[in-house]
Amino acid sequence: MISFLNSQVVTAVSLVLLYAIVLLSLWLRRDSLIDKLVLTPADDVTPSSPKQATISANERAEFISAYLDEPVWRRALEIPPGFDIGKADELSEAEAVSQQLRFQCYRSSAPLLLMDRAVDLLEVFSRVGFLPRWPIFSVHLEYDRQRRSEERLSRWRIVIGYPDRDRLRALLQPFNDWLGLRIAIRAPHSIKLQGQCREPGGGPGQCGGRMRTAGDASEYLVTCEHVLAPGCQSTISPRIPPGATSPPDIAVIRPNACFQTDRQSSPVLPASSEDLLQASARRESVAFASRASIRRGLLRSPAPGYATKDGRFWRVPCVRIEAPGIRWPLKRLLGIGQRFSRAGDSGSWIVLVGRDESIWAGMVVGADDIARESYAIEPDFVARYCRVWIERQTSWSGTMPACEAFV
């Protein structure tokens, strides 16, 4: 009798434990283990009042208003009080266009405006010698789920990756109100570009989609610039000089034999920066537009750019994507586990999952294999950038070209 009761107890305890494990797995599927079970690092810099975020965002919006309509041929850095960095850098045509489009993408979103402002402050620190130059920085927004009951803008904070936390915190603290949002400082990270070009020097990659112009129905392929060989003659967008971080890693090319263009395609709508901001707060899923890949990921957060392993920081609107599943700390240390994007995925287009319409969510450019995070350039920026060079290099002029993802 006692043996029977003991077996019943063991069975009941086993079922309870199994049920708890299932619930825990479901709970962790959309939120990382580190975020849930490990204390999230405290904020290093905090504004004096939550209202300061709105004030700072309005100041940033006023600053960029002068750069929205036409490209300005100098670098637009918002200088905080007490600094003088001298004459602003002159920009190439492609750099000026990229700067203008970045401001256009961020103009209507207060969290994105303040994230971009923080990058300006870091660059000012570098220019005056307070900090070394890039690429030891990484920056992104983070949605704080523990503050969902607070004012919308207060739910976001800026995460800056830098190796010397105390040093950066001391520099940022006097500008807590100027920054507007809470700041958390963590370890920096960088990505590896995941760049099919048949010319010598080309890298493995994908042509994720194309753009069609109305009227003449011309089509242009879109991929990452680093995928193309130096001698590629099909591109109509500016090439990136060796060692440079601009223009952005986007290539607009005429159809050629390097990429298969007779594949089926489907119309997609580019998501705006604000759309992606809200989608990341909801941790929406994304997938490759191409049916050749069944991998899915979770939108983590927007970022104002990415640092690469070769020591460069690319300032371009993008999003961070995480592979689904439990992010065990040991997996992070060993660099193992599921990844959303892999080598050869550069240039692939991704879409939001579960929407009534096909919403384009970005173009994959690279990944941090240790953190299992991928980066994709925002689609609204890609579409605007492509339109500029299609208009300038051809006789076409009109509305935004139709975007089609290869499926």
Question: Hey, which CATH number is domain 189-407, 2.40.10.10, 1.10.3710.10, 1.20.120.350, 3.40.50.150?
Answer: 2.40.10.10
- pTM for this prediction: 0.85
Q: Are 182 and 157 in contact (CB under 8 A)?
A: yes
pLDDT band at 294 (very low <50, low <70, confident <90, very high): confident
**Statement: residue 273 has pLDDT above 50:** yes
Beta pairing class for 265-270 and 359-368: parallel
Mean pLDDT of the chain: 83
**Statement: residue 34 has pLDDT above 60:** no
Structure confidence at residue 19 (pLDDT): 67
pLDDT band at 30 (very low <50, low <70, confident <90, very high): very low
Between 88 and 403, residue with greater pLDDT: 403
Rounded Cα–Cα distance for residues 163 and 169 (Å):
11
User: Which position has the token pair 């830098």?
Assistant: 162
Rounded Cα–Cα distance for residues 62 and 290 (Å):
41
Query: Residues 182-232: pLDDT tens digits?
Result: 999 998 888 888 664 545 555 567 889 999 887 667 889 999 988 888 888
Over residues 109-118, mean pLDDT: 97
Here the tokens at position 309 are 């392993």
Q: Are 348 and 364 in contact (CB under 8 A)?
A: yes
Rounded Cα–Cα distance for residues 247 and 240 (Å):
6
Q: In angstroms, how far is the first alpha carbon of the chain from the final one?
A: 64
Q: Are 254 and 221 in contact (CB under 8 A)?
A: yes
Q: Measured between alpha carbons, how far is residue 186 from residues 90, 168, 345 in Å?
A: 33, 10, 28
**Statement: residue 313 has pLDDT above 90:** no
Rounded Cα–Cα distance for residues 346 and 314 (Å):
15
Query: Residues 155-180: pLDDT tens digits?
Result: 999 999 998 999 999 999 999 999 99
Burial bucket for residue 340 (CB in 10 Å: 0-12, 13-18, 19+): buried
**C-alpha 81: how far from chain center:** 29
Rounded Cα–Cα distance for residues 328 and 158 (Å):
24
Indicate the residue type of 272: S
Outline which parts of the chain fall under CATH 2.40.10.10.
189-407
Rounded Cα–Cα distance for residues 251 and 234 (Å):
10
Structure confidence at residue 1 (pLDDT): 53
